[in-house]
Amino acid sequence: MKILGIETSCDETSCAIVEDGVRVLSNAIYSSAAMHNKTGGVVPEVAAREHILKIVPVLDDCFSKANCTIDDIDLIAVTDGPGLLSSLIIGTQVASTISFLKNKKIVPVHHIIGHIYSNWLNVEEKIEFPVLILTVSGGHNELILMTGHNEFKIIGETLDDAAGEAFDKVARILGLGYPGGPLISKAALNGDSHAFKLPLAMMGKENLNFSFSGLKTACLNEVKKYVICHPEFISGSTMSKEQSQREMLKQVQHDLTLSEQFKNDLSASFQETVCETLSSKLMLAYKKYPNVKEVHLAGGVSANKRLREVIAGKLPAGVKFRNPLEFSFCTDNAAMIACAGYFIYQKNPKKYKSRTNIVAHTRFEIL
């Protein structure tokens, strides 16, 4: 069975062909991330315009890489939410149009369920349930117990920002660019992770929820302290100290004033704090649910090598720990959506019809 996956929930336009749920025949991805570098984050209108321009070429690309045509497709799977509404609409409308024109069945897929299924892609052996999953992306951060296909229970979640959002914002404060995750981890390679003592939030023994907004503020405070400690900027200025700080922070974003060592050290300390927080919460969940057969890491931040290393080091030997097999399966991509669509469809094939209009939404709750 060949499934066409379509994903446009944020700044990646992606179309993929996946066979029998797990075998990736193609996974074409265009990212407009470089266009959001100036703004240090995604501007929804800009992302949506890029999806409109790129969706047809990306669709063509996914068919040619998989060496098949639209007529060979048995099922369409599309992300219907949550995400940026103006971006989601492009993918859902393209999927619905194909469903009407070619009489194809269509399955709407929750974006986070898509990320969860990234750990099935190109995996040959059978994955055993129950699975404990830590999903860490730019918009969401959850601990999930998966007891079967399309059966989920959220056991912990972020009460404010997701870890990926914190990576992006700290990178912005440091003037590193967007997306922050890969840039922070690169800077961290030359930094001292003990240079700054940053807060580990909500570490109570029973608490499986997360909070990352305090960590973001703590990093901003370190930058402010750095500004104050550098009188060469403030002296000679006719501005008040507060105005100087504000100006300094503006300039910081243009990479004018912070030393490389400071950026590297704060990146390393921040990354280590995030890894320590996420891995401790995952271990707490593992202790609470010791019967799980596997532990999975999913979402854009699962691309972080240090996070993988820290988690693998804490889990008891013999526990099956998976990350997506390719880095392109970690961040937003349509192969994971096709995979999720396949397993969701298999559970209830009669529910899904051809000639269906899928309506995009921003709700998270359907998990």
Question: Where do contacts with Zn ion occur on this chain (CB under 5 A)?
Answer: 137, 332
State the alpha helices, DSSP H only, in the chain. 44-66, 85-102, 111-117, 163-173, 180-188, 213-228, 231-234, 241-253, 260-288, 305-314, 334-347
For 71, other C-beta atoms within 10 Å of its C-beta total 7
Dihedral of the alpha carbons of 35, 36, 37, 39, in degrees to the nearest 10: 130
Nearer to ligand KG4, 40 or 139 (CB): 139
- Contact between 300 and 181 (Cβ < 8 Å): yes
61 or 168: CB nearest ligand KG4: 168
From the list ligand KG4, Zn ion, none, which binds 168 (C-beta under 5 to 8 Å, kind-based)? Answer: ligand KG4
Q: Which of the choices Zn ion, ligand KG4, none does residue 180 contact, using the CB cut-off of 5 to 8 A by kind?
A: ligand KG4
Nearer to Zn ion, 61 or 332 (CB): 332
Residue 275 near residue 181, CB atoms below 8 Å: no
Shortest distance, position 94 Cβ to Zn ion, whole Å: 18
Q: How far is the CB of 337 from Zn ion (least distance, A)?
A: 10
* d(C-alpha 167, C-alpha 153), whole Å: 26
In the complex with ligand KG4, which residue's Cβ is closer, 11 or 244?
11
CB of 228 to ligand KG4, least distance (A): 29
Give the SS3 label for residue 318. Answer: coil
- Cα–Cα dist 52/119, whole Å: 29
Residue 13's φ and ψ, nearest 5 degrees, are -100, 115
By CB under 6 A, name the binding residues for ligand KG4.
10, 115, 137-139, 164, 167-168, 179-182, 185, 299-301, 303-304, 331-332
Binds 310: which of Zn ion, ligand KG4, none (CB < 5-8 Å by kind): none
| Min CB(41)–Zn ion separation in Å | 15
| Dihedral of alpha carbons 175, 176, 177, 178, sign | negative
CB 126 within 8 A of CB 22: no
Least distance CB 109 / Zn ion (angstroms): 12
Contacts of 251 (CB under 8 A, 6+ apart): 257
**From Zn ion, ligand KG4, none, which one binds at residue 301 (CB under 5 to 8 Å depending on kind)?**
ligand KG4
For ligand KG4, the closer of residues 55 and 73 by Cβ is 55
Q: Are strands 75-81 and 105-110 parallel, antiparallel or unpaired?
A: parallel
Partner whose footprint covers residue 304, from Zn ion, ligand KG4, none (CB < 5 to 8 Å by kind) = ligand KG4
By a kind-dependent CB cut-off of 5 to 8 A, residue 36 interacts, out of Zn ion, ligand KG4, none, with: none
Q: Please state the closest distance from residue 135 (CB atom) to Zn ion, in A.
A: 9
Which lies closer to Zn ion via its Cβ, residue 104 or residue 322?
322
Least distance in Å: CB of 179 to ligand KG4?
4
Residue 61 or 165 with smaller CB distance to ligand KG4: 165
